[in-house]
């Protein structure tokens, strides 16, 4: 199994997950053209993409969704209530409108969904399975529950939100109501919370942790990395994994899950 972020952060999110036979995108929060170019940079043709899965309806996750579905005839998978909020993506062919409740199978990929805590109508995180391999994705959540940790624990690669540095958010330029929203239970995870949660989720199976959805204003890649790395080093688990930060506008190098 292989995976990579194509874009990550409040300016746009898109994650590629694939096997030799099945390739999908989680969210399409950039223009169709940019997503195509990003896929091209990891040698994947947009025509190979078999599904567009949506975590939630915020614009940084759906900007290119309608265009890609229409132009390349790709089905969109979203939770039932999320579909009701997707009116802004334009007309989608009925046969490309797919709903999910619990699990899905797309080609040789299985997908499980879990609830996240975010100010969207029905937001989800996802875990992909192919044979023994697992890839987990959790961004856009204001808190992390034991159920979410359980869903992600044991994944070989975990894309996990490290949205903001708590001090940068407090001292930063955002108005009070926005600060409150971001740090609230239905907002986004801080670097500190991400590190603490990852400590509980990293197992002997974990090979890669990719810090994702960083704020441009209230975080830096260095701050996110150092905060999480310190927490994991103190718990003696940093040297057991590859910890990286998802670039905002560029594609993360393609991650290939190794057979253990
Ligand atoms: Zn987002
Ligand atoms: Zn969001």
Give me the mean pLDDT over the 143-148 stretch: 96
- Is the pLDDT score of 3 beyond 70? yes
Assess if residue 175 is contained within a domain.
yes
Calculate how far, in angstroms, residue 51's C-alpha sits from the geometric centre of ligand 1: 20
Span 169-180, pLDDT tens digits: 999 999 999 999
Q: How far apart are CA 36 and CA 44, in angstroms?
A: 9
- Compute the distance from residue 172 Cα to the ligand 1 centre, in Å: 19
Tracing tokens 């567009």 back to the chain, one arrives at 52
Number of domains in the chain: 1
> Closest-lying ligand to the alpha carbon of 29?
1
Distance (angstroms) between ligand 2 centre and the Cα of 118 equals 7
Residue 260 has pLDDT above 70, yes or no: no
Does residue 253 belong to any structural domain of this protein?
no
Compute, in angstroms, the gap from residue 251 CA to the centroid of ligand 1: 17
Q: What's the burial of 239, exposed, middle or buried (CB within 10 Å: 0-12/13-18/19+)?
A: exposed
| Ligand 1 centroid from CA 140, angstroms | 5
Which ligand is closest in space to the CA of residue 14?
1
Q: What is the pLDDT of residues 116-142, one digit of tens each?
A: 999 999 999 999 999 999 999 999 999
- Report if residue 255 sits inside a domain: no
- How confident is residue 259, by pLDDT bands cut at 50, 70 and 90? confident
Q: What's residue 95's pLDDT?
A: 98
Using the mean position of ligand 1's atoms as its centre, give its distance from the Cα of residue 131 in Å: 30
Q: How many CB atoms lie within 10 A of CB 133?
A: 22
Q: Can you tell me which residue has the tokens 């898109």?
A: 14
State the average pLDDT for the chain. 97
How far apart are the CA of 120 and the centre of ligand 2, in A? 7
| Residue 186 CA to ligand 2 centre (angstroms) | 9
- CA atoms lying within 13 Å on the CB side of residue 253: 7
- Give the structural domain span for 198: 2-248
Domain annotation covers residue 257: no
Instruction: Output the six-digit token pair for 240.
Output: 């057991």
Q: Does residue 52 fall inside a structural domain? A: yes
Long-range Cβ contact pairs of 99-107 (< 8 A, separation 24 or more): 100/53, 104/77, 106/22, 106/24, 106/50, 106/51, 106/77, 107/19, 107/21, 107/22, 107/50
Query: How many A from CA of 239 to the centre of ligand 2?
Result: 31
CATH number for position 87 = 3.60.15.10
- Residue 58 Cα to ligand 1 midpoint, Å, equals 6
Rounded to 5°, the CA angle 109-61-45 comes to: 50
Domain-located, residue 258 = no
Q: How many residues does the chain have?
A: 260
Closest ligand to Cα 7: 1
User: Does residue 43 sit within a domain?
Assistant: yes
Q: Is residue 209 a part of any domain in this protein?
A: yes
pLDDT, one tens digit per residue, over 57-95 is 999 999 999 999 999 999 999 999 999 999 999 999 999
CA of 190 to the centre of ligand 1 (A): 14
């Amino acid at each position: 199994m292989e995976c990579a972020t194509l874009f990550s952060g409040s300016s746009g999110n898109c994650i590629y997950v694939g096997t030799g036979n099945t390739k999908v995108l989680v969210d399409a929060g950039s223009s169709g053209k940019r997503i195509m170019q990003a896929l091209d940079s990891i040698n994947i043709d947009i025509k190979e993409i078999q599904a567009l899965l949506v975590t939630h309806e915020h614009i940084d996750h759906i900007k290119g969704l309608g265009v890609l579905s229409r132009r390349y005839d790709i089905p969109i998978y979203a939770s039932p209530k999320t579909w009701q909020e997707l009116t802004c993506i334009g007309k989608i062919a009925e046969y490309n409108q797919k709903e999910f409740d619990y699990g899905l199978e797309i080609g040789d990929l299985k997908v499980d969904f879990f609830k996240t805590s975010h100010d969207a109508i029905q937001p989800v995180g996802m875990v992909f399975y192919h044979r023994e391999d697992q890839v987990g994705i959790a961004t856009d959540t204001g808190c992390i529950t034991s159920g979410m940790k359980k869903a992600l624990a044991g994944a070989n690669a975990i894309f996990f939100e490290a949205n903001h540095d708590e001090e940068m958010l407090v001292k930063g330029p955002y108005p009070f109501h926005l600060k409150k929203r971001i740090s609230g239970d239905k907002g986004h995870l801080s670097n500190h919370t991400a590190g603490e949660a990852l400590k509980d989720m990293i197992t002997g199976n974990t090979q890669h942790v990719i810090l994702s959805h960083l704020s441009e204003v209230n975080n830096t890649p260095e701050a996110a990395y150092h905060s999480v790395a310190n927490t994991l080093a103190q718990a003696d688990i940093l040297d057991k994994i590859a910890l990286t930060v998802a670039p905002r506008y560029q594609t993360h190098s393609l991650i290939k899950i190794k057979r253990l």
